[in-house]
Amino acid sequence: GAGVSQSPSNKVTEKGKDVELRCDPISGHTALYWYRQRLGQGLEFLIYFQGNSAPDKSGLPSDRFSAERTGESVSTLTIQRTQQEDSAVYLCASSLEASRAYEQYFGPGTRLTVT
Amino acid sequence: AQSVTQLDSQVPVFEEAPVELRCNYSSSVSVYLFWYVQYPNQGLQLLLKYLSGSTLVKGINGFEAEFNKSQTSFHLRKPSVHISDTAEYFCAVRPPDSNQFYFGTGTSLTVIP
């Protein structure tokens, strides 16, 4: 079956512009995560969605970052007024929380470059 | 908050030699432990996980890891590596009462022919 997909795969934007990144999770997966991976660093948790519960936004680095998810489907991560330090690979993962005990399936990522 | 330390950023090893990739975490309480692998130009995929029970966990592609609670470690091992094992390896922990995964900075394994 189809895995987690993300679009675009690459995004180059000018400092100060807004960007929107998209994640399509595996069908039926109730949990969805966003991570940021800066060059040479580990994955940094950003936000977590679980079904219809309130999302865990504790990892969002500033109020320029926001994310939405409609039900158990597509999620979008929006970065407003981008800064050069936002340059990173943004990874999305989904999980069938109910049964596979936290196993996450990752998408290929979106490489964001802010010039 | 948890922290995860992968002591070796790069590990070169000859083909068919054994390898150990080290992972230590900060918590003294129970956690779930994971190793993920990222092959070149691919997404992360789960290699193995420890939730409870036997401290020796076997994963895909001949990898295994051993949970050591007293040393708060979860080192990854393979007795004989192949060229195809060249990849980035990430250790991760998750407290049972949390939604968050905490990842290490990764270890780049390069298998030399």
In tens, the pLDDT along B54-86 reads 999 999 999 999 999 899 999 999 999 999 999
The CATH number given to B4-112 is 2.60.40.10
Closest of B81, B84, B86, B104 to residue B34, by C-alpha: B104
What domain count does chain A have? 1
CATH number, domain with residue A86: 2.60.40.10
**Residue A105 within a domain:** no
Q: What is the mean pLDDT, run by run of 10 residues, along chain A of 115 residues?
A: 89 97 92 90 89 88 94 92 96 76 84 97
CA-CA distances (angstroms) from residue B53 to A101, B15, B66, B86? 14, 32, 11, 30
In a domain, A35, yes or no: yes
Contact with chain A for residue B23, Cβ under 8 A: no
Q: pLDDT-based confidence at B28, cuts 50/70/90?
A: low
Quick check: is A62 in a domain?
A: yes
**What pLDDT is attached to residue A12?**
97
Task: Sort out which chain A residues have CB atoms less than 8 A from B23's CB and list them.
Answer: none
Q: Which residues of chain A does B94 touch, with a Cβ-Cβ cutoff of 8 Å? A: 102
Instruction: Tell me the mean pLDDT in the region B49-54.
Output: 90
Cis (ω within 30 of 0) for the bond into B96?
Answer: no
Residue A115 lies in a domain: no
- CA–CA gap between residue B90 and residue A43 (Å, rounded): 9
* Spans of all domains in chain B: 4-112
Strands B107-112 and B10-14, sheet pairing: parallel
- CA distance, residue A18 to nearest chain B CA (Å): 25
Average pLDDT over all residues of chain B: 92
**Domain range enclosing A15:** 5-99
